[in-house]
Structure 1
């Protein structure tokens, strides 16, 4: 909707329990920065922004429906690390590892989105836009991974100097331990040592010596036991070696710090990109959290409009357990812009108000709503609610005064682009005055064009909507037989008090009830009669609707049955046609084989008998050739392709009906030729002949092999159905392509079968220098039919 932009006050969000919805949505977040984004999520009041939020959520719902989940592991909120790097601070190895992990997670997510674009029939423009905006920081990831392992430890290979220092340190430590262990193995060890071990105190190697033998070893005492009976002594023989260890550790620390400072400077150069990356990952995580929340509860994405129109189909309150919630259809905002719900307390009127308000807030925040697909909501500039007892103790205000303060505040802020929710409007004061105030307030907000949903128990408002255009009454159904509400909303029907009916069912004397009815007045009785008539009409309408629905279901069933029978007929028809074609093909093939046998026999006769072939033998061969055709006595002429030029005597032709080549001898008529086929001469129609060009001498052809590489390599290779040699060749090429694409992990699908293909692939991987390792897939990845490969 157009108009002045107002903010949704935090009091309204609290009143409608929007904050609880946000808490549930945040539980589905997997990234701390995304969770923070969800916790700060407030409804938008700009129509284009709301449309974008809902489209993003709808794309996430589609992705979850197709893939089940999205890889979001390994992400850390590294913005504080990037900020400290910008301030020339030295990052720790753990912080650098978290930066690398986050970059890697973004790369995996980017590849995941790319595979969806390639493999799935789904449109996800918002996710594509975010993927395209991801900064590419592969160089920094590679630089960090070269120096720091996944546990946050600076590796020996980070620099040649560090490798040398640590090798010297390990050598020196080994010597010290060997020297001290010689003391623990000495013949006096059991007598002089408390325990035959080498331990460390103050970063120096020591042995536990009984106090009375301290002078035997000499050296430096670094600690003693709580009883004083054991001294941890560094013997003189290893003091100098321990000093050397200390010096090497200092050098090690200095080199580690140099490496960390160098890496921190690399982070500093791309700090802005890291901020952008984390913000984008947080946005994706927040969108997925909303979609996961909707999927978990089977909520749907509504359509939205800027016309103030609301149509909820089978909507429920999202905070009421699904087994207890009653679904209702609610529609207003076009011809009817104000609904007044009347009826007894505890009937569900307040729940209806909160359902409409909360669904509106959820939709304007891009969160799926608890209603059937096809529901529609309006985007309001503001939602205002006066629900419940908000009495101010500090101001010593009564319930009525407290509520009126809130209503006055609403009336000062609302406009025609607002949604107003009033619960028990005008309550807390004299019924007659309260009803008058309620009518006046409703006239005011309705006249200004706002969308209004109000509840009341005043009888004066029961006929309120019948004489005012754009207004209607509604009620919550009450079952007289069970003396309890059904919580079904009935739009167009005001609520009845049901006091007399309930009292009579509970055993109150009928004479007392009749006397009470006489006190209510004629108008009250007419209103109650009108309401009862409306309820009867509604029940008849519902009965007719149920019967119509049953007929519709039966019609749909018959339609489905007819469609199934028609499909079966078409399938049977296709089967018969296929069978007929196969039979015809078999006949033709048999005929062709027989014709070839005849020709072969004729050739053999010519070779064996030369020119002395008897006439009856030629006649018999001609008869066999005619009988070989599937059409019967005379083969049907086969239409030849358009000849490149008119046929001439001496031309070589293909006799299509026999599949043999021959030479044209003579043209006997405009349509017939005498053709020499081997030693046979036959009269063939020109339409059954096809000119054969004379073969030319082949020229040497120089070919150039061009290898065309696809611009994108998938994360898996499917070898099922491949021959063994072809599969190994494809595996070799695929591993090369994956290494060029900088993949660290890929999957090869070989199936289970006999296991020969699996063994061949794994044997190849075992001998590949760039394969770090491989394993069978997990159950969710394909089990023993898949090999997951880790690349260096």
Structure 2
């Protein structure tokens, strides 16, 4: 079992077949899909940083909504014949126009990449640009004179074919004219099964009823399945058809010579073409890594120089709304021992940490919000399900065999993970054997270990060793369910009896069963497990209290800062209004002073009126605006919040780290969590009573009829578009233009999918520009 086999056995055990399929969805070539799903190759440690840098550059371009797929792989048809032609170019094979076009597009697309990829493989791209210059001048220019970029050949545009193509076309026109004449002739018309001709085996034939045929009409080329219709080539047409076949044979011969000449030009640079081809394969692989990482919120890992590790908010990519946890390893730590209740998240926690290492070893970003990982040589993961009755192996024997093979082959500085190690044999024996193997791996091979267990001796021993982190998965004692939180510092109880008691309520079993089970257990064991359970419960209560106090403290601080900012803005606004009113009054007084037509008493009366009006418009405390929302720290599903982006109330559906899904007007919308605020009371916010006013200004939040989504992240784009659509539906704007870019970008895909579900909206590309969508409301007549 070498390194390659150890890693691939681990991939099978950590759900890679499913993960690989999800990743390969983003690939262009089937070769890349097979590479990822069946044959992922680990990156050497010396090349790991540069590979992560390449993924990072593409990740950044994707986040800017740049359509790299179209730029890099546009017109590259993914067919086995095209790949075979390039790979065997040096073996004197001749490609057809489709295969030659595949090589031609490779040469052309490298030019487009130079302006898009600023740093990605810069020296390699410049090398290809220089080395393919002769091919662009000689091969590409000549080839593009008559072959389109999609591989369609306009043969009549080639000088060697133009005459013969025209000759063939003229002859085919004569044949069709003659066939139509025959079909309309009185003698033939009454013999026809139906009044049209067909082409069978390059022969123009007419359908004659079998009971009306005679040899003077022509030669029978084919028959219908029932035999009632004979397809006959008319005698007068046959000579034309024979001449046509001769011309076609000459055309095919010229085409073969043309393809041979172009293939020879490429063959002279076969090594260069193949290197260019492999560059695009590598780009497809790296772009797949970047797209998967971007769409699943992965983060670029930092390579730890001293064996320390920090993985913040790591999660399992296959589990929706997976509980995120954080773990820290100092350089002196050898590993992690996890205990706690069944179905509490031990397996998911170990698999998630292993996946972080696997992803980094394969050159991917990792499922976390921040990560610093030590590079490892091998990665070995096994669980307790190794029973193989076909070879006479019990679960324990199968697990032992797997571990022995691993011990014989694994290299130093590796990662070894075991889910519920030796769970199929006696607890004390299993613990002693596990401790011995762990000591061998860490002391002799400098391995990092991740172990989950229910064994009491193993939990106790590792808790006392400062070289290991002891942790357990949490349990909500009020709701009587697991929390999936990783709690570092203490082991946890397996809580088998507690879980059995909870589940047994649904079956109305005799409670004596549980009491008898407790009486059978050794009192020391019960005391130890009860101690762990009580400790876990107390810690959970303390953590809950600390979080509550911290949230309250932060809430008060944020509320104070928020209100200070709001008051400042309100004061500034009122000051500007008051200043404007004062300037108007000063102007009126100045005009009144200069008015020579009024008497002194009239001027005094006017001045009194100005003063009264000015005092009534002066700002006071009753005119200050009341704000009834406040920032929030903890979001609760099903609760109502105020969305800053939607400018309205909405109901929280779910939270996934820094993104929240909310329901607004019957639609699910994704918004940043930081844009949600908590109402200070549960009563709807009321506007003060006011007289009816005519608003001569646009009341919509959208200042124009367009939304430019280029460079936006998906959440921001969704919020902008939905806000604009609300204005459109309210009649504030006549139509809406949304710029999202060409190709199959995430912005365009989301918008079109959303609009297809909206029955009151109609949309189309703006003036044929598929990078911009025009949206209008369907008005009822």
Q: Which TM-score bucket, shorter chain as reference?
A: 0.5 to 0.7
1:364 deviates by 1.6
- Cα 1:256–1:365 change in 2 (3 A) is same
The 8 Å contact of residues 309 and 377 in structure 1, kept in 2 or not, is answered as: yes
Contact 2:307 2:374 in 1 (8 A): yes
Deviation at 1:26, TM superposition (A): 0.7
Match of 1:650 in 2: none
Task: Give matches, 1:397-546, under 5 Å.
Answer: 397-414=393-410, 416-448=412-444, 449-498=446-495, 516=519, 519-521=522-524, 525=527, 528-529=530-531, 532-533=534-535, 535-537=537-539, 539-546=541-548
Structure 1 residues 561 and 157: alpha-carbon distance in aligned structure 2, compared to 1, 3 A threshold: farther
**Per-residue CA shift, 1:559-615, capped at 9, x if unaligned?**
5666788899999999999xxxxxxxxxxxxxxxxxxxxxxxxxxxxxxxxxxxxxx
Give the distance between the partners of 2:14 and 2:325, measured in 1 at CA: 18
In the alignment, structure 1 segments of 5+ residues that lack a partner are: 118-124, 578-751, 754-774, 785-792
Q: How does 1:612-651 map to 2 (within 5 A)?
A: none
Is the CA contact 2:75–2:149 (under 8 Å) kept in the aligned structure 1?
A: no
Matched, 1:780 2:774: no
Q: 2:103 aligns to what?
A: 99
2:369 matches 1:367: no
Note the C-alpha offset of 1:236: 4.6
Structure 2 distance, partners of 1:167, 1:429, is: 85
Task: Report if the CA contact (8 A) 2:384-2:395 is conserved.
Answer: no
Displacement of 1:347 in angstroms is 2.5
Q: Which residue in 2 is equivalent to 1:741?
A: none
Q: Using the TM superposition, name which of 501-510 and 549-558 deviates more.
A: 501-510
Alpha-carbon contact 2:340-2:495 (below 8 Å) kept: no
1:386 to 374, 382, 394: 382
Distance 1:141 1:34 in 2: 27
**Which residues of structure 2 form unaligned runs of 5+?**
580-733, 736-765, 776-781
Report the CA distance shift for 1:410/1:308 in structure 2 as closer, same or farther (over 3 A): farther
Contact 2:383 2:421 in 1 (8 A): no
Report the TM-score, using the length of structure 1 for normalisation: 0.64
SS in 2 for 1:357: helix
- From 126, 151, 157, the equivalent of 1:132 is 126
CA distance 1:568–1:222, change in 2 (3 Å): same
Give 2:740's aligned residue. Answer: none
How much does 1:783 deviate?
A: 6.8
In 2, Cα distance between equivalents of 1:515 and 1:153: 79
Structure 1 residues 564, 178: CA separation in 2 closer, same or farther (over 3 Å shift)? Answer: same
Corresponding residue SS for 1:400:
helix
Q: Distance in 2 between matches of 1:497 and 1:179?
A: 91
2:253 — aligned with what? 254
Q: Residue 62 of structure 1: which of 57, 60, 63 is its match?
A: 60
Alpha-carbon contact 1:308-1:417 (below 8 Å) kept: no
Q: Is the 8 A contact 2:310 2:329 kept in 1?
A: yes
Q: Secondary structure at the match of 2:307?
A: coil
Query: SS of the counterpart of 1:99?
Result: helix
Shift of residue 492 of structure 1?
A: 0.9
Question: Using a 3 Å threshold, how does the CA distance of structure 1 residues 46 and 565 change in structure 2: closer, same or farther?
Answer: farther
Cα pair 1:308 1:451 within 8 Å, conserved: no
CA RMSD in angstroms comes to: 4.2
Give the match for residue 20 of structure 1: 18
> What displacement does 1:438 show?
2.6
Tell me how far 1:410 sits from its aligned partner.
2.9
Give the CA deviation at 1:546. 4.1
Answer yes or no: is the 8 Å Cα contact 1:8–1:43 preserved in 2: no
Aligned counterpart in structure 2 of residue 11 of structure 1, from 9, 12, 16: 9
2:592 is matched with which residue? Answer: none
State the match for 1:301 in structure 2. Answer: 300
Higher Rg: 1
**How much has 1:417 moved relative to structure 2?**
1.0
Offset, 1:207: 4.1
**SS of residue in 2 equivalent to 1:91:** coil
